[in-house]
């Protein structure tokens, strides 16, 4: 309850107002902070309330992110291998804060001041004032509880994202160590420092904000391999690709013999010198002149 309001109430009134609040609500109220903290922090925290943490920003992208996964265990450690299994995706706890939270708090303060002024001016009696103040206090407490839940939801979301990041890192480290000529980042401090540096660079770029966690690790891993002169593994050819490569290109082959170049016309049906026989005049005489004596004799016999 606001200290200004509290100072105007008698001990009996305070007991009547606070007596209905259950232990669970009081605990949430203590987590949410006092009323002064609400007013002081409204402007600073509006944008962050109820929002989920970014996958690989902030804590997830800190320099020692890959190093923290050492706790996941070695390859042969059963406990470590169990920790490296991807964590089941949890449904996020949702408790959004009303978008007009600040306006509602201000309205309660204004109504409180107006109610007190009416009492001072004699427009209402003490019973009407107390009933109005109690209603305002209940309304304010409800808003404070909503804010506390929103802050808890945000913290839970951040913790869930951190657990998911650690699981993704552990799985990646195991896979990187098993690659042909791969890097064991758990044991190689130098390469792990390179990986962390590239992770920070990638996470600081706004255009990468929507990328999944594993993308950051794989991209950073590529850069570490390039830095240390490790060429990417050649792509293995699939059976389908091998069959397609060995198959002769029949698409451009003629469908029938009539489409073979030089096959226009009736073919060889008219004889060896059919093309000369179709000529006339000087072209006919020139074609005959080009024949060898043996061909010329055969041509004349066929004529």
pLDDT digits (tens, 9 = 90+) for 145-174: 999 999 999 899 899 899 999 999 999 999
Backbone angles phi, psi at 246, to 5 degrees: -85, -15
136 falls within a domain:
yes
| In a shared domain, residues 22 and 149 | yes
| In a shared domain, residues 40 and 168 | yes
How far is residue 6's CA from residue 2's CA, in Å, rounded to a whole number? 6
Out of 180, 195, 225, pick the residue that ends a domain. 180
| In a shared domain, residues 151 and 288 | no
State the pTM of this model.
0.43
| In a shared domain, residues 15 and 127 | yes
Residue 45, classified by CB atoms within 10 Å of its CB into exposed (0-12), middle (13-18) or buried (19+), is middle
159 falls within a domain:
yes
Domain containing 288 equals 271-303
What mean pLDDT value characterizes the chain? 73
Residue 267, classified by CB atoms within 10 Å of its CB into exposed (0-12), middle (13-18) or buried (19+), is exposed
How far is residue 108's CA from residue 9's CA, in Å, rounded to a whole number? 17
Q: What is the pLDDT of residues 83-142, one digit of tens each?
A: 445 455 556 778 888 889 999 999 999 999 999 999 999 999 999 999 999 999 999 999
| In a shared domain, residues 277 and 169 | no
Does residue 35 contact residue 144 with C-beta atoms inside 8 Å?
yes
202 falls within a domain:
no
259 falls within a domain:
no
56 falls within a domain:
yes
Q: Mean pLDDT across the stretch 63-75? A: 44
How far is residue 303's CA from residue 300's CA, in Å, rounded to a whole number? 5
How far is residue 157's CA from residue 26's CA, in Å, rounded to a whole number? 23
| In a shared domain, residues 36 and 156 | yes
Out of 180, 212, 237, pick the residue that ends a domain. 180
56-90 b/e (C-beta count within 10 Å ≥ 16 → b): bbeebbbeebbbebbebbeeeeeebeebbeeeeee
The pair of structure tokens assigned to 221 is 């891993």
69 falls within a domain:
yes
Share above pLDDT 90 across residues of the chain, in percent, rounded to a whole number: 37
Q: What is the pLDDT of residues 13-40, one digit of tens each?
A: 566 556 544 444 444 444 444 444 444 4
Which three-class secondary structure state does DSSP give residue 98? coil
Q: What is the pLDDT of residues 224-234, one digit of tens each?
A: 988 888 866 66
| In a shared domain, residues 162 and 296 | no
DSSP 186: T
| In a shared domain, residues 285 and 154 | no
280 falls within a domain:
yes
How far is it between the farthest Cα atoms of the chain? 144
120 to each of 10, 107, 115, 155, 165, how far by Cα in Å? 16, 20, 9, 45, 59
| In a shared domain, residues 150 and 285 | no
- Residue keyed to tokens 């802050």: 151
Does residue 61 contact residue 203 with C-beta atoms inside 8 Å?
yes
DSSP 122: T
Domain count, the chain: 2
| Count of other CB atoms within 10 angstroms of residue 168 | 23
Of 70-74, 218-222, 234-238, 246-250, highest mean pLDDT: 218-222
Backbone angles phi, psi at 281, to 5 degrees: 65, -135
| In a shared domain, residues 44 and 175 | yes
| In a shared domain, residues 174 and 277 | no
- Considering only CA atoms, which of 71, 89, 63 is closest in space to residue 166? 71
225 falls within a domain:
no
Out of 132, 159, 180, pick the residue that ends a domain. 180
């Amino acid at each position: 309850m606001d200290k200004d309001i509290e100072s105007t109430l008698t001990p009996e009134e305070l007991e009547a107002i606070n007596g209905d609040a259950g232990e669970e609500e009081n605990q949430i109220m203590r987590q949410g902070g006092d009323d002064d903290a609400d007013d002081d922090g409204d402007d600073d925290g509006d944008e962050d309330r109820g929002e989920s943490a970014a996958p690989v920003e902030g804590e997830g992208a800190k320099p020692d992110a890959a190093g923290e996964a050492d706790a996941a265990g070695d390859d042969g450690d059963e406990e470590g291998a169990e920790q490296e299994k991807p964590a089941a995706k949890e449904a996020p706890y949702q408790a959004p804060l009303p978008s007009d939270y600040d306006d509602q708090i201000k309205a309660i303060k204004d109504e409180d001041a107006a109610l007190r002024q009416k009492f001072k001016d004699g427009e209402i009696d003490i019973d009407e004032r107390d009933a109005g103040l109690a209603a305002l206090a209940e309304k304010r407490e409800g808003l404070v509880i909503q804010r506390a839940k929103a802050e808890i939801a945000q913290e839970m979301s951040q913790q869930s994202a951190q657990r998911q990041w650690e699981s993704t890192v552990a799985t990646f480290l195991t896979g990187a160590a098993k690659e042909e000529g791969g890097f064991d980042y758990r044991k190689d401090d130098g390469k792990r420092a390179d990986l962390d540096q590239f992770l920070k660079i990638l996470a600081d770029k706004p255009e990468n904000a929507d990328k999944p966690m594993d993308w950051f690790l794989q991209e950073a891993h590529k850069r570490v391999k390039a830095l240390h002169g490790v060429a990417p593994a050649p792509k293995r050819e699939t059976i389908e690709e091998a069959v397609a490569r060995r198959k002769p290109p029949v698409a451009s082959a003629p469908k029938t013999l009539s489409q073979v170049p030089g096959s226009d016309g009736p073919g060889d049906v008219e004889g060896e010198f059919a093309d000369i026989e179709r000529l006339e005049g000087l072209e006919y005489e020139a074609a005959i002149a080009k024949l060898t004596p043996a061909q010329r004799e055969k041509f004349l016999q066929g004529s």
